[in-house]
Amino acid sequence: MNGHEVSAFTTTLSATLEQSYQYGESALSPTALQEKRSFRLLGWPLHNTLAPLIHNKLFSLRGIPWHYSVLESKDPQDLIVELDDEQAVGSAVTMPHKLVFTQHVDVLNEEATAVGALNTIFFRRNKDGRKIRVGGNTDVLGVRESFVNNASKADIEKAATRPGLIVGCGGAARSSVYALWRFFGVKKFYLANRLKSEADDVASQFTKLSGFDATFEYLSTGEEAKAAETPFFVVGTVPDHPPSSAEEHAVQDIMKELLTSEQRERGVVLEMCYHPKVQTTLYNLCEAAGWTVIPGTEATLWQAVVQHLLWTEKEGIQDVWVKETRTAIWDAIEESRRKKAAEL
C-alpha cells in the first residue's frame, strides 16, 4: 500500500467506527481487550474458510487475547445462544445464513440494509444499558479496499465513466454492486448470471434503495454482449466450476466477449472466488487477456480488517500488520496446495 492508500483506508475505518456509535455507545468493558474472549463464524460448510487464520493473526499482532473459531452449523439458533452470553463481543455469519440472520439482530447498519444481508454482528449499548445486536456487511468495504489497494489512481478515476460487470447474482454480487456504485460512482451494471430471475432480484433490491441512481442490464447471450459497452471494473462472484448447462455456457460466452475481444479496452477484475485455487478459470482468462486481476483473498482480508475494528473498537491498524496477515494467508494457501499435491 502506498501512503495515499493507507490514509484513505484509515479515513474509511474512522468513519465506519464513528457511524457504528449511532446505535449506542461501546458495549466493551474497560478491560475487555485484556481478557480472553471468543468469536465464532457461523456457516455451512466451513472447511475452507481463511477467517480464523486472518482474525487470530490480527489479534496476535495487536496483543489482544481473543480467539476466533468456526461454528459449522445449519441452525442459526446455535449462534443465537452464544450471542446471548453477556461476555459475547460479536460474531460473523456466512452462507447459508447471511439473509436469515437479518431477522436475529436488533438493527442493520447502512451497508447491510442496502445489500439485504449481513456477515457481521457487533454490539453497542443503548441509553438503558441494553446490549444492541447490530448487523453489518463488511463485504462492501472488502470490495472497495480490494480495488483501492490494487488498482491505479487512473483506473479508479475511470471506473465512473464506464459500466461495471458483475458475474453471478448472489450475496457477494450485491455487496459488489453497492461498493462500485457508492465508492466509485459506477452508474450502469451488466449482470451475467445463469438465471434471469436472480438478476431481476438484484435489480429490484437496489431500485428500491433511496438515492440509488444506477441502471442494470441483464446479458443472456454472447451475441447480446457484442452490442454492450466494455465494462471497466468487473467482479466475479461464482464458484470455479466448468459450465454444465446451456445457461452457464452462455455466461462463459458473455465473459469471453466482454473480457477477451481484442478491440475492447482492459480494466480491473476482482475475482472473489479463491477456492479450490486462487487462479481460477476467470482469473487466468482475464490475466492472459491483459486485465489487472485482483485475487479474492484481498476482499477476504479487507472485510476482516473492518470486522476487527467494529469488534475491538480500536483504531490504529498499521500497514505492516496487514502485510503480515496477507503473507500468512498466502503461506496457508501454499501449504494447502502442497498437501493436496502430496496426496495425489
Q: Where are the chain's structural domains?
A: 3-138+300-319, 142-297
Instruction: Give, rounded to a whole angstrom, the gap between the first and last alpha carbons of the chain.
Output: 38
Rounded-to-integer distance, Cα 172 and Cα 89, Å: 25
Judge: domain 3-138+300-319, CATH 3.40.50.300: no
Give yes or no on whether 3-138+300-319 and 142-297 have one common fold: yes
Instruction: Read off the C-alpha cell for 64.
Output: 489482544
CATH class name, domain 142-297: alpha beta
Residue 198's CB is within 10 A of a number of other CB atoms, namely: 16
Contact 70/49 with Cβ under 8 angstroms? yes
Q: What is the 3-state secondary structure (H, E, C) of the chain?
A: CCHHHHHHHHHHHHHHHHHHHHHCEECCCCCHHHCCEEEEEEECCCCCCCHHHHHHHHHHHCCCCEEEEEEECCCCHHHHHHHCCCCCCEEEECCCCCCHHHHHCCEECHHHHHHCCCCEEEEEECCCCCEEEEEECCHHHHHHHHHHCCCCHHHHHHHCCCCEEEECCCHHHHHHHHHHHHHHCCCEEEEECCCHHHHHHHHHHHHCCCCCCCEEEEECCHHHHHCCCCCCEEEECCCCCCCCCHHHHHHHHHHHHHHHCCCCCCCEEEECCCCCCCCCHHHHHHHHHCCEEEEHHHHHHHHHHHHHHHHHCCCCCCHHHHHHHHHHHHHHHHHHHHHHHHHC
Write out pLDDT tens, residues 156-208.
999 999 999 999 998 899 999 999 999 999 999 999 999 999 999 999 999 99
pLDDT at 1: 40
pLDDT at 121: 98
**What residues of the chain score a pLDDT lower than 50?**
1-7
Write out pLDDT tens, residues 1-29.
433 344 455 567 788 999 999 999 999 99
The strand pairing partners of 19, in sequence order, are: none
Rounded-to-integer distance, Cα 290 and Cα 50, Å: 29
pLDDT at 10: 54
pTM score of the predicted model: 0.91
Label residue 138 exposed, middle or buried (CB < 10 Å: 0-12, 13-18, 19+): buried
The residue type at 208:
K
pLDDT at 210: 92
Report the alpha-carbon angle 180-185-190, nearest 5. Answer: 55
